[in-house]
Chain A
């Protein structure tokens, strides 16, 4: 596969390591009342779609960026590649 890195252009997937569902960015509020439940869901519940999937890839043999790659798990078609940091900020994550 080829991953079109937003900063570095098309790179072979062998330069990357895979982590999994991009929902791992959405770490729940550790001070919330329901944190036991929300962290359990965050840690253990994943959707495993046959189709479009947003997932985290780490450019380990490259610039060490975490990327959010939107990939069709049935065809490997990649429709978007974003910097995970931008995605995290857009979702309101800060410090």
Chain B
């Protein structure tokens, strides 16, 4: 376990060696390493294969902008594809695998694509897989799908927790390099509430990767001192390992904190990652700059990397990618890398500088006015071919080549509100435009101040401006202020297989081809070639593509324009967006008051909205749900059953205008409903379509209790508030939802009164004379407990609904069961409830399906013409009142054993079966124990005059054709004698 390429110094902890495995081989690194730096230390340059051509690849960068070194990290259910080795912190026992290769990284069969690259150019898929059409689904798509993608998913559930959090501050500073640290010191010392976020695990940015000094201190020591001072301030919150991923509306930022990614497994109770929503008045973007490469032939071999990355590896991680390196640059920055590596004892083969007038060095060879034309080395760089100023060519032996094409301000987040960058001629780079997200300021290299002095100065200045800090500014630390000396140089002339986008395999040739084929806008170029569309969003590649396009079109880069960036800044796992909102926590689970009692009975539950409702109550010996349901129906109709209907929405309506208000809300009349009576009500939408139905009981002149269906409770309440506040603002009426406040049970069946008599306190007369059908009132039960009683029936039997404060719900259910023993009281669930309402022809959600009117429901006459109500005007539209309008009817099969299915359509007994001859459709179907046959409710054209007619029920989807007879929807007790008993 040698670390052949480890240098001296660096910010790694040599007392903490760590063992890790890459592609089945053990290596050693140190605490403070990334996976990439540790692999380079062990002389592993080859870390991945490219997307399309499966070219061997090593790291191009030392940060989150990395396009190449993507690996599968960890194993088992925690396996995580497409993880950048350049940001993955090393931990003891880390296991990583290379991806997108088969059978091995060194020998990848799909590298044949590289030989076929003449065919696989831009637009290959668009041009090739067009025909024959039939091949797409069976052949092309499966093959492409198999070849597509990089890493693979574990296909197992993620065992880790993810969380969400909210934070507020006066100033959010994004990036803790020299500008961000200086800004945080300035704002923190002034007392502002500051959040300083940095994606790295160590704050300092480039200060950790450079050898120059600040105030005669090593730059990284100055950064550490600044972080120490900030840590001591209670008004400053430092967030490391936190990537600000997006700038959203009104000063809201998204940030992902990688709480446990640097650990083998998260500590107990700790999430893997947290998605923060940060609310801030002001933001400072101090995200620095990203170096850009130069395109030349085969510039993608492992060992070719950005010069700044090479410097980071050497200075921060004490690693050189090879024992002998060369530099290719068009600006002074490349020379810094040569000097730093030379100082650490790495052999510099040469610095190839495109500028003819650059100064020579005593320490290493400088080739002025020269260019790198090509490289060699199958799985890693061995030689670079250089063209000298005089036109002669020379071969440089080197295991790594640092490339510097200048710096691009990292302005990603300035674009998230459609901000457009502007071109800066002096820097040969785009800088943030003036249409920044609200409250955002940019400082340091991100704004084009590329020297350390520039970063510190603007960090302080912009923080003072943003927070309007008065008084004298503190003293600025002394730091280098090297001017930017750059001659634009984007690609070596004549290159074709010079890589621009290394992740998506877009070369100079592809950009030229797309231009030739007429894709002249940058947005078209991007989509046709996929330049910049990989997981790195083209952070290192977009500029090169733009420069080539500009040249081809004979325009400046400024005229050519640029694509803009969108959130997220770096890829975010879906799990992080989901947080805890998954599985049973996807939405709240609401339990009814009788839930625990029902669970004791072994009830089977069903989700209705957010509620869990008992669906049926299996008894010993029952092996099929139908047995339970049939028994519950029969027992209820024969004696008495109890069903928890707490989930129905309950809205308390009070005020002197309450009756007038309900007259507006319901299409039928309510103003004259006497106190102590309940009425069925149908609500329409303003367009005349039925919205919801329920009952309203009048407990006092100015007090109604409205019920809604379970599913529409929230929507109906919202609608009623809209009417109250926006349409009738002066009505004296107040609304409150009391759904959770009252436990409510339906007690149904011929013995329901007898059962209730045992519970309702004696002073309340609930005989048929004193408390007739549709009566309601306040009562007390069980010796003084306040309750409400409604004599309403969904089942068609003599029935009541009794409500008690929710906390007594469990006790009341147990009492009903105990007192009901003598009547064989039977709890029933939603299935039996459904069967009984279908037998009775009552409409429910299936019938109130958003397309049906009062007329369709057979309640056309209920829509009062004497008063205005919501929906009354538009329900008169001719289209909704056609002579052959659909009407609610019942259907039953001629052959009792035949099946009736909801969703099936009705066709005449003779004639074609097609949409043109459609007569209607079945909305609800159930087996009726009372009729010993399946029955259904259906909407049928002119249904009211077709009783007794024979039709065909067809369902082409399930290949069903059944002969049915049209009957009244009231299958059971059509005269309603039972419920009035």
Contacts and interface: CB of A to CB of B under 8 A. Distances in A.
Interface string B872-886: 111011000000000
Given A30-B872, A31-B868, A76-B249, A36 B726 contact: no
From B251, B728, B729, name the one whose CB has the most chain A CB atoms within 10 angstroms. B729
Interface in B616-657: 657
A58 B249 contact: no
Contacts of B873: 30, 35-36, 39
Interface string B855-887: 000000000000010001110110000000000
B369 to A, nearest CB: 50
Contacts, number: 77
A36 B251 CA distance: 46
A88 B729 contact: yes
B721 A64 contact: yes
B250 A76 contact: yes
Nearest to A35: B873
Contact of A95 (B252, B660, B687, B722): B660
B727 A27 contact: yes
Given A1-B250, A39-B873, A85 B714 contact: no
A66 B660 contact: no
Interface in A1-58: 1-2, 17, 19, 24-25, 27, 30-31, 35-36, 39-40, 42-44, 56, 58
B731 interface: yes
Given A17-B718, A36-B877, A39-B873, A93 B728 contact: yes
From B250, B721, B722, B874, name the one whose CB has the most chain A CB atoms within 10 angstroms. B250
Interface in B494-553: none
Interface string B242-256: 000000011110000
Nearest to A58: B718
Contacts of B727: 25, 27, 88, 93
A2 B279 CA distance: 10
Contacts of B722: 19, 24, 56, 58, 66
Contact of B718 (A1, A35, A60, A87): A60
A56 to B, nearest CB: 7
B908 interface: no
A60 B714 contact: yes
Given A2-B250, A66-B721, A43 B726 contact: no
A43 B728 contact: no
Contact of B729 (A31, A39, A89): A89
Contacts of A69: none
Interface in B701-760: 714, 718, 721-722, 725-731
A5 to B, nearest CB: 14
B880 to A, nearest CB: 12
From B660, B714, B722, B725, name the one whose CB has the most chain A CB atoms within 10 angstroms. B725
Nearest to B868: A30
Nearest to A17: B718
A43 B725 contact: no
Nearest to A27: B727
B686 interface: yes
B250 A84 contact: no
A85 B729 contact: yes
Contacts of A40: 874, 877
A43 to B, nearest CB: 5
B417 interface: yes
A14 to B, nearest CB: 9
Nearest to B166: A12
Interface in A48-95: 56, 58, 60, 64-66, 75-76, 78, 83-85, 87-89, 93-95
Given A24-B726, A30-B868, A65-B725, A43 B874 contact: yes
A89 to B, nearest CB: 5
Contacts of A56: 722, 726
Contacts of B686: 27, 39, 42-43
Contacts of B417: 75
Contacts of B660: 95
Contacts of A2: 249-252, 279
Contacts of A39: 686, 873-874
B437 to A, nearest CB: 10
A95 B727 CA distance: 8
Nearest to A4: B250
Contacts of A95: 657, 660, 728, 730-731
A60 B660 CA distance: 25
Contacts of B728: 93-95
A78 B249 CA distance: 10
Contact of A66 (B250, B725, B731, B877): B725
A19 B721 CA distance: 12
B515 to A, nearest CB: 32
Nearest to A83: B725
Contacts of B714: 60
A57 to B, nearest CB: 11
Contacts of B877: 36, 40
Contacts of A66: 721-722, 725-726
A84 B868 contact: no
Contacts of A94: 728-730
Nearest to A25: B726
Nearest to A30: B868
A10 B718 CA distance: 21
18 contacts: A2-B279, A24-B726, A25-B727, A27-B686, A31-B868, A40-B874, A42-B686, A43-B687, A56-B726, A58-B718, A58-B722, A65-B725, A66-B726, A78-B250, A85-B729, A89-B730, A93-B727, A95-B657
Given A30-B873, A39-B686, A85-B726, 15 more contacts: A2-B249, A2-B279, A19-B722, A65-B725, A66-B721, A66-B722, A78-B250, A83-B725, A85-B725, A89-B730, A93-B727, A94-B728, A94-B729, A95-B657, A95-B730
Closest 5 CB pairs of A and B: A30-B868, A2-B250, A94-B730, A39-B873, A85-B725
